[in-house]
Amino acid sequence: MAKTMGTKRKYTTITIPAPLFQKIQAMIKTTGFSSVSDYATYVLRETMSEMAMKGSKSEKEGVLNKLRALGYA
């Protein structure tokens, strides 16, 4: 595991459908993402940021729908 300023970074595992993983893996070949995990981390951080900035229930539901479409929720 990677170390940051003398402390270990903690990771966990999430599961996604294999076809989604394969689609992401093919898509990121032409991007700066080095792995599906890097891409998933980016998408989740962006989504969390959007959710934090948007307060209404309907907006949060929209973000959750996007996550479901990606296979995360």
The answer to whether the CB of 38 falls within 8 A of the CB of 24 is no
Q: Does residue 66 sit within a domain?
A: yes
- 47 phi-psi bin (left φ>0, alpha ψ -120 to 50, beta other): alpha
Q: Is the pLDDT of residue 73 over 70?
A: no
Joined together, the tokens standing for residue 35 give: 């792995």
- pLDDT tens digit string along 31-60? 999 999 999 999 999 988 877 776 666 777
Domain count, the chain: 1
Q: Does residue 9 sit within a domain?
A: no
- pLDDT tens digit string along 2-14? 445 557 778 899 9
Q: Does residue 21 sit within a domain?
A: no
Q: Does residue 55 sit within a domain?
A: yes
